[in-house]
Amino acid sequence: MSTPYPNAPVSSDAPVSAVDYDGHPVLVAPETRRLDGAVREAYVPPFAPPVKHGSLADLPYENAEAAPDTVVLSRKLPGGRWTDVTAARFAAQVQAVAKGLIAEGLMPGDRIAVMARTTYDWTLLDFAAWAAGLVTVPVYPTSSVFQTRWILHDSGAVALVTETAAQAAAVGPELPHLPDLRHVWVMEKDHVARLADAGAPVPDGEVDVRRGMLGPDTLATLIYTSGTTGRPKGCALSHGNFFAEVDNAIELLHPVFKAQGEEPSVLLFLPMSHVFGRMVAIACVRARVRLGHAPSLAPDDLLPDLAEFRPTALLTIPYMLEKIYNSARAKAEAGGRVAAFDRAAAVARRYGEALQARQTGTGSGPSRALKTQRTFYDPLVYRRLRAAMGGRVRYAICGGSPLGRRLAAFYAGAGIEIFEGYGLTETTGASTVTPPLKPRLGTVGWPMPGTRVRIAADGEILLAGDHVLRGYWDPQAGGVVPATRDGWLATGDIGELDDEGYLTITGRKKELLITAGGKSVAPAPLENWLRQHPLISQVMLVGDGRPYVAALITLDPDGITHWRQMIGKHPVPPEFLVDDAELAAVLQRALDEANKLVSRPESIRRFAVLPVDFTEEAGHLTPSMKLRREQIQQDFEKEVESLYDR
């Protein structure tokens, strides 16, 4: 763990100022502090006052009292039809399920695990568990039996709710090793509804008493890290952590949560087992933004959901935005319109760059000619892309990994404003985010209101604020052990702050490659750039202790099929193209372009095409699509060695 840089004299720059967004004051310009001529710290004061009483459990009840007829969620019924749920109805359902949990003997502070995709019942159970005084523990539905057993055992969960009977059956043989686990309920067997029925005899006052026992410092959830390096740790997040995160996010991202002139709505399709999805779900309930759940990321499932729900904002990751772009280009190429698409994409990127220049005071904005070009291409390209997202999407909150300047500029020019963020499970979601009206493409924005960002002497990013976790769950130590040092959380990420306080992520501290020549190389920038190529699915750089940097590349099946058709050849599975000279030439050109971004010692000298893709099932990706580098290195040791054979 890095220690903060020494408390040497620093200079303070740029006082906080404010601008208006549709009449809503939005703070900009963080306070910055310098050391030895470089910006080492940035801070934005909180926009929302701290919550001193109550908990997340109160939100459905407060909504029902303030706006009982407001639609706060939409639920997709088994037949595929969407039905609206008012604030009053949702509060009644939360109350009923909370009483059911009490009737089943769950006590305040007990942990209840939820293993399900992104569904309405997930959010219902979350708030019902809190209303009953419980602590929720998310488990990825794709978790192995070993991972599930570890989380259930480590958290001491007394109850488990699974989405499917198959998930419950898989846990069955582990029950003798889980002495604390007394209940297993299954969503698809209507056990959530049965819980509500079972709780009918419980007085409403019992729920009121349990809610009254909760405060901002009460433990709300244990979210286990994805474990890219070692065994997952349970991040202990309090109700106050979530309030600090969502209240400031709602105020900062005014366009998303308080859009003027239309009903704001969010279709959530990222995992609720991840803090990112969970935070946005809570923010929507807090702001009374209509929330929907889409359990499947498969295009045949997600696209109809987008068309029917018609969200105004999406929560997404770069991987999804890359796939949407590549799919749109492939369709244009198949229809003989790829040249027009590429021209439209170039116009969108220039338009997005010009918009940023005007907003940051470094340019006058799009020229008249550029506006005309954009207007021409809007019905041909941009409107079709927006239509694939439901037709009303104006904003996207993107996190997980850097999006990249080119793609961010394209979407901005196509009419979708991207709020890119950076954060960890330990920080209850975002710690930095693109500020409205002040984007800087290629960065992850400014500190979230109420957040301090510091760059340690070795480049590690340190974070502080009320959204930072209480600590890590450690039953052997009697509960929660501290995770910060002197109030600062060491993230393990490497980054830089510019003169105006924008943060750029340059890599992971543990992922830095040190070549045999002593050159430190952050692999993420080149990997992210190359992953945008339509023929590439995943990329992992290697070269630690080696004479040069090389790359393992996996192929995108849809992209490969389309490319083969375009060059007049029959589609073949990607594994048949490992040694294909024509494909190697295409990929080499992509690497040549990527290498222009870095110095010669950092450039990729050789690459190997792998016969299979990296998948979560094979242990190569975390559920949030991050590379498990050690496992990949181990499984493809032969291919890595071949890159250094002479």
**Is residue 619 a contact partner of residue 226, using CB atoms and an 8 Å limit?**
no
pLDDT value of position 551: 95
Band (240; pLDDT cuts 50, 70, 90): very high
> Does the pLDDT at position 477 exceed 90?
no
CA distance 633 to 618: 13
Q: What angle do helix axes 191-198 and 87-103 make, rounded to 10 degrees? A: 80
pLDDT value of position 436: 82
pLDDT value of position 56: 98
> Amino acid identity of 301?
D
In 3D space, the residue among 141, 443, 90 whose CA is nearest the CA of residue 281 turns out to be 90
Question: Does residue 210 lie in a domain region?
Answer: yes
What pTM was computed for the model? Answer: 0.82
pLDDT tens readout for residues 313-369: 998 888 788 888 888 888 888 888 999 999 999 999 999 999 988 887 788 999 999
> Amino acid identity of 230?
G
pLDDT value of position 1: 37
pLDDT value of position 602: 84
The CATH number of whichever domain residue 164 belongs to comes to 3.40.50.12780
> Does the pLDDT at position 8 exceed 60?
no
> Does the pLDDT at position 550 exceed 60?
yes
Question: What is the arithmetic mean of pLDDT over 523-543?
Answer: 90
**Is residue 555 a contact partner of residue 536, using CB atoms and an 8 Å limit?**
yes
Distinct helix (H) and strand (E) counts, the chain = 21, 31
- Domain end point (choices 257, 284, 309): 309
Question: Does residue 397 lie in a domain region?
Answer: no
CA distance 85 to 58: 18
Band (547; pLDDT cuts 50, 70, 90): confident
Q: Which of 4-13, 29-38, 279-288 is least confident?
A: 4-13
> Does the pLDDT at position 570 exceed 90?
no
Question: What is the arithmetic mean of pLDDT over 267-292?
Answer: 94
Query: Higher-confidence residue: 255 or 237?
Result: 237
Question: Does residue 221 lie in a domain region?
Answer: no
pLDDT tens readout for residues 90-99: 999 999 999 9
Three-state SS sequence of 63-80:
HHHHCCCCEEEEEECCCC
Question: Does residue 172 lie in a domain region?
Answer: yes
Question: Does residue 451 lie in a domain region?
Answer: no
pLDDT value of position 3: 34
CA distance 310 to 305: 8
Mean pLDDT for the chain?
Answer: 89
pLDDT value of position 333: 87
pLDDT tens readout for residues 310-323: 999 998 888 788 88
> Does the pLDDT at position 524 exceed 70?
yes
> Does the pLDDT at position 7 exceed 50?
no
pLDDT tens readout for residues 161-185: 999 999 999 999 999 999 999 999 9
pLDDT tens readout for residues 203-217: 999 999 999 999 999
Question: Residue written as tokens 């419950």?
Answer: 168
The CATH number of whichever domain residue 542 belongs to comes to 3.30.300.30
- Domain end point (choices 279, 309, 339): 309
Other CB atoms within 10 Å distance of the CB of residue 477: 10
**Is residue 31 a contact partner of residue 44, using CB atoms and an 8 Å limit?**
yes
pLDDT value of position 260: 63
CA distance 386 to 396: 12
pLDDT tens readout for residues 446-469: 999 999 999 999 899 999 999 999
CA distance 420 to 401: 9
Question: Does residue 630 lie in a domain region?
Answer: yes
Question: Does residue 69 lie in a domain region?
Answer: yes
> Does the pLDDT at position 303 exceed 80?
yes
Q: Which of 21-30, 164-173, 467-476, 542-551 is least confident?
A: 21-30
Question: What is the arithmetic mean of pLDDT over 414-440?
Answer: 90
Backbone φ, ψ for residue 229 (5° rounding)? -135, 95
Band (15; pLDDT cuts 50, 70, 90): very low
Most confident residue range from 10-19, 31-40, 277-286, 626-635: 277-286
Band (142; pLDDT cuts 50, 70, 90): confident
Question: What is the arithmetic mean of pLDDT over 514-535?
Answer: 82
In 3D space, the residue among 597, 424, 620 whose CA is nearest the CA of residue 522 turns out to be 597
In this structure, the chain runs to a length of 646
> Does the pLDDT at position 518 exceed 90?
no
pLDDT value of position 27: 54
pLDDT value of position 227: 52
SS3 assignment, position 597: coil
Question: Does residue 530 lie in a domain region?
Answer: yes
Give the count of domains, the chain.
Answer: 2
pLDDT value of position 618: 87
Residue 629 belongs to domain spanning: 512-642
> Does the pLDDT at position 23 exceed 80?
no
Question: What is the arithmetic mean of pLDDT over 128-143?
Answer: 95
CA distance 561 to 570: 8
Band (230; pLDDT cuts 50, 70, 90): low
pLDDT tens readout for residues 576-599: 899 999 999 999 999 999 888 777
**Is residue 448 a contact partner of residue 463, using CB atoms and an 8 Å limit?**
no
> Does the pLDDT at position 426 exceed 90?
yes
pLDDT value of position 28: 61
% of the chain at pLDDT higher than 90: 62
